[in-house]
Structure 1
Amino acid sequence: MEQLRGTGVALITPFKEDLSVDVDALRRVTEHCIDGGVDYLVILGTTAESVTLTADEKTLVIDIIQTTNAGRLPLVLGVGGNNTTVVVNELQSRDLSAFDAILSVSPYYNRPTQEGIYQHFKAIALASSKPIILYNVPGRTGSNVLPETVLRLAKEFDNIVAVKEASGSMAQIMKIIKHKPNDFMVLSGDDLTALPTVLAGGSGVISVLGQGLPSEFAKMIRLGLERRVDEAYEIHYSIQDGMELIFEEGNPAGIKAIFEILALSTAKVRLPLVEATATLKQKITAFVKPFLKVYA
């Protein structure tokens, strides 16, 4: 799964002022990421506000990104949830032929035991015709997929090929890297730990900020994979404020504020999320200003 090495980006779903899907903005955002040099695109992840999209809107988003991408970059599709049967049914009924892998978040709200998490992903592995990226994000799901569970899944199912690790714990990330099968990939799911994860032996990142500043983020990860540490950290520290700012009022309000500044889409989000405040937008504008010439 070399397609997953480097910088993937979890694309937003742009909305018009009336909160309908803005297909023109979605095309602009997709082109922005491709032109910026990212390595693959993640469609309908949690950053896409997928839980607030209807089935028809999800199909629309997939179609627009596929058409815009036109085979240029690998595609990963988010297929996850806290109802195992529903996830399995979607995997069995949706046409996955255009995708290189699926990204599936650990069940949220239910807070299953580690055995429950294992059984959930076992069912998904048995149902999926595509390679699977596990997604661990305890801050959103309410439960942590422990390294032992990740490693158990990685060793028992050939089509579980990677984990997107957003626990924020480098100790946890390094434990997985130390004990994983040789061909299993560890991807950072947290922009702040992206470079440290790569330098510890990970394979890359699925980023949020990377879709706003694709040139900088993709270059940073490439340098990290090449072990050019000082150059990579120079970029990391130049964009670190942005990594923190975009999550200050929740995701994807912050990254959508960046796209508004770049004139690629509105900053609109759907309830129960709310748009970034004027105060946060001012701080994000000050952060983005030095990069505007790159994306003019």
Structure 2
Amino acid sequence: MQSFMGTGVALVTPFKKDFSVDVEALKRIVNYVIDGGVEYLVVLGTTAESATLSSEEKELVISTIKEANNGRLPLVLGVGGNNTAKVVEELKTRDFSGFSAILSVSPYYNKPTQEGIYQHFKMVAEASPLPVILYNVPGRTASNMLPSTVMRLANDFKNVIGIKEAAGDIVQAMKLIQDKPKDFLVISGDDMITLPMVLAGGAGVISVIGEGFPKEFSEMVRLGLQRKVDEAYKLHYLLADSIDMIFEQGNPGGIKEIFKSLGLSENTLRLPLVNVNEDLANRLDAFVKKIVN
């Protein structure tokens, strides 16, 4: 579980102007974040626009990232959904070679009760050949996985090793940290409150902004874990405006604009997502130039 201390990044799927997967750009991004010092990579999460990828494209993304990574960092694969039976089937049939854990989102759209969420993840935990990191993101799922439900899962299933907590609620995060089993990982899923969560006892982050500025953001998290508070907050405030901007008009539109400014990939998104507007694009480009220079 030490593999997932620090900064993981939720990798985008870069597209060419014709909307096909840009394999070479994806390799550049993988190398960029590894060179920037992040601790692990998350594949086919929400930021990857995985909902718009075909099965064949998902396999292409997986194979490209595995090839570019070349065993350098641990890999986490997003495996989740709102059809429990389908998720279980994937867990039983997929080849997980090269991966160290799965990240599984709480069921969206259906709006299950806390008991329904527990039963869903009970099936996931029993079927998964890899450690499971839960993912709570009420802004996308329309239901909040409560700390009491998380603790039931953490205590009942040894392979449920952590949670990516993205409710944006520092009080809820602190409750998780207070009540968790000793080795259970509470991982921030909200870039803006990552440092407070780390200082409260969290394990780190699965980040979006850490993809754009991996050197600065991963160093901030490491400083937080070392309790070097003033140095860590200096980096937090350096990047804070960019965190607001990349989510201002939706994810991953903002981070793809940063990658365009960095010369790593196009800023192409697939519908129903669209590019950020010109004003935000200009502000993001100016921020990149300030940090890079």
Give the TM-score taking structure 2 as reference length.
Answer: 0.99
Q: CA deviation at 1:286?
A: 1.8
The equivalent residue for 1:136 is 136
Kindly provide the CA deviation profile for residues 7-55 of structure 1, in whole angstroms up to 9, marking residues without a partner as x: 0000000000000000000000000000000000000001000010000
Mapping for residues 1-296 of structure 1, pairs under 5 Å: 1-293=1-293
How far, CA to CA, are the matches of 1:80 and 1:150 in structure 2? 16
How far, CA to CA, are the matches of 1:45 and 1:285 in structure 2? 25
How far, CA to CA, are the matches of 1:249 and 1:157 in structure 2? 38
Q: Is the 8 A contact 1:118 1:149 kept in 2?
A: yes
Kindly provide the CA deviation profile for residues 80-130 of structure 1, in whole angstroms up to 9, marking residues without a partner as x: 111111111111111112111000000011000000000000000000000
Q: CA deviation at 1:277?
A: 1.1
How far, CA to CA, are the matches of 1:219 and 1:160 in structure 2? 27
Is the partner of 2:251 in helix, strand or coil?
coil
When structure 1 is superposed on structure 2, of 90-99 and 174-183 the one drifting more is: 90-99
Q: CA deviation at 1:275?
A: 1.0
How far, CA to CA, are the matches of 1:256 and 1:105 in structure 2? 23
Identity of aligned residues (%): 62
How far, CA to CA, are the matches of 1:74 and 1:166 in structure 2? 21
How far, CA to CA, are the matches of 1:143 and 1:268 in structure 2? 30
Kindly provide the CA deviation profile for residues 120-153 of structure 1, in whole angstroms up to 9, marking residues without a partner as x: 0000000000000000000011000000001110
Q: Is the 8 A contact 1:267 1:276 kept in 2?
A: no
Letter in 1 for 2:97: S
How far, CA to CA, are the matches of 1:289 and 1:162 in structure 2? 36
Is the partner of 1:139 in helix, strand or coil?
helix
How far, CA to CA, are the matches of 1:116 and 1:282 in structure 2? 44
CA RMSD of the aligned region, Å? Answer: 0.6
> Matched residue pairs, number?
293
Kindly provide the CA deviation profile for residues 206-245 of structure 1, in whole angstroms up to 9, marking residues without a partner as x: 0000011000000000000000000000000000001110
Q: CA deviation at 1:201?
A: 0.1
Is the partner of 2:168 in helix, strand or coil?
coil
Show structure 1 runs of 4+ deviating over 3 A: none
How far, CA to CA, are the matches of 1:233 and 1:292 in structure 2? 19
How far, CA to CA, are the matches of 1:162 and 1:279 in structure 2? 38
Letter in 2 for 1:89: E
How far, CA to CA, are the matches of 2:280 and 2:145 in structure 1? 32
How far, CA to CA, are the matches of 2:54 and 2:289 in structure 1? 35
Is the partner of 1:246 in helix, strand or coil?
helix
